[in-house]
Amino acid sequence: MNDLYPLKFKPIFKEKIWGGDKIKTVFGMDYSPLPNCGEAWVLSGYGEEVSEVTNGFLAENQLDELIEVYMGDLVGEAVYEKYGNKFPLLIKILNSSDWLSIQVHPDDKLAESRHNDLGKTEMWYIADAEPGAELISGFSREMTPELYLSNLSNGRLKEIMNYEKVKKGDVYFIPAGRVHALGPGLLLFEIQQTSDLTYRIYDFDRVDDKGNPRQLHTEQALDALDFAQHDSYRTLYEPAFNKTVPVVESTYFNTSLIHFGMPVVKDYSGIDSFVILQCAEGKCTIEYNGGSESLQAGE
């Protein structure tokens, strides 16, 4: 068996009613013939949307095939023991030119009982934000199911949402159960559990090309929502140059930022896990025993 090496993958592009063009204009990704791209799934083992390797002798193999062959040597023994051939994370780039629906994701327990699936805890790293860009994360006041339903039925849901002004470099951790929505003018990286379970609460009265409103999941969302109100929703971290800065530590993933202008040496041999490196800006080269791979912004 040949040695493993840093693997690169082909993005899977998704047209969205709220999608924009920055995945092409900022990151240079060609999503033609789609008219827009709201989501680029840059690393996925979800359902039928499985990423394909683009480099080295494993090119054209799919991620699930590689896990089946390499098992813990690829993803880590503990990860393989827990998830088997299912890759546990889904990595996306999102670009919004309009508001996404206000939504919530179920946790593992609820997702398992209802859908025989994983829940969806996620985080956002803002790669670019137009002036005045906003997102929704959580409630703006102490909430109860009764008060929430009253505002929802009276068309006043937006009044109890917590709006956040967003800038480049901001991070938001969105645990399962937290109500959220992205506003227009945002380009971001999304790291999440391998799940696509979404309960849509409100969609700004939009209709599809046939004039039909999008489906809402009012009853399902009620059991999934965390009604707690928090003092702060943005994840705070202290940027540093030529240093690894931890940002999010969770049950499902740990993320760090490395802003560097000189060679950085990393030894991952003692880590019982896969490691994902994603270039947020600029470009770099990964040198390893046996060769090197370039990494452009977005890859």
Q: Which residues are catalytic?
A: 200
- The 10 Å Cβ neighbour count of residue 77 is 12
Beta strands in the chain (DSSP E): 12-14, 39-43, 45-46, 49-50, 89-96, 102-104, 122-129, 134-139, 161-165, 171-174, 180-182, 186-193, 199-202, 244-249, 254-258, 283-288, 291-296
**Cβ distance 198 to 100 under 8 Å?**
no
- The C-alpha angle 273, 168, 173, rounded to 5 degrees, equals 45
Alpha carbon 109 to its chain centroid, in Å, reads: 20
Burial bucket for residue 34 (CB in 10 Å: 0-12, 13-18, 19+): middle
Question: Nearest 5°: phi and psi at 77?
Answer: -65, -45
Handedness of CA 37, 22, 240, 178 (dihedral sign): negative
In this structure, the chain runs to a length of 299
d(CA 270, CA 289): 16
Q: Are 75 and 7 in contact (CB under 8 A)?
A: no
